[in-house]
Amino acid sequence: EVQLVESGGGLVQPGGSLRLSCKASGFNFSSYWMSWVRQAPGKGLEWVGTIKNDGREKFSVDPFKGRFTVSRDNAKNSLFLQMDSLRVEDTAVYYCVRDGLLVTAWFDPWGQGTLVTVSS
């Protein structure tokens, strides 16, 4: 069974840092691009960033560039999201998702999500 399990969420003060982890199983992790998607309370889905299968290239957009870093350890079938300079508006459930083979694609499956709360 293909499975993604996130961990590392919690309460952090504004300006603080947090590192999320995602443990993958049931598929050849090193072959797939991987991504993070977030969902603020009561809101829609927002793509955070993507990393290629070999970890050599990463993609993100302006709200996250310079603050959030996606990385991976293929030997440990793990994906990470390092979040720095956190803001109240970063409060959300963060999902780890499997992306495509060789190109970005649809997201399947999704992890159960981990809640990050940024508050003083």
Partner 1 sequence: EIVMTQSPATLSVSPGQRATLSCRASQSVSTNLAWYQQRPGQAPRLLFYGASTRATGIPARFSGSGSGTEFTLTISSLQSEDFAIYYCQHYSDFPTFGQGTKVEIK
Q: Which residues bind partner 1 (CB under 8 A)?
A: 35, 44-47, 50, 59, 61, 95, 100, 104-113
- Shortest Å, Cβ 112 to partner 1: 6
- Shortest Å, Cβ 56 to partner 1: 18
Nearer Cβ to partner 1 (55/59): 59
**Kind plus residue range of the DSSP H or E element containing 18:** strand 18-25
Nearer Cβ to partner 1 (5/88): 5
- Shortest Å, Cβ 61 to partner 1: 6
What type of residue sits at position 60? S
Q: Characterise 85 by phi-psi region: left (phi > 0), alpha (psi -120 to 50), beta (else).
A: left
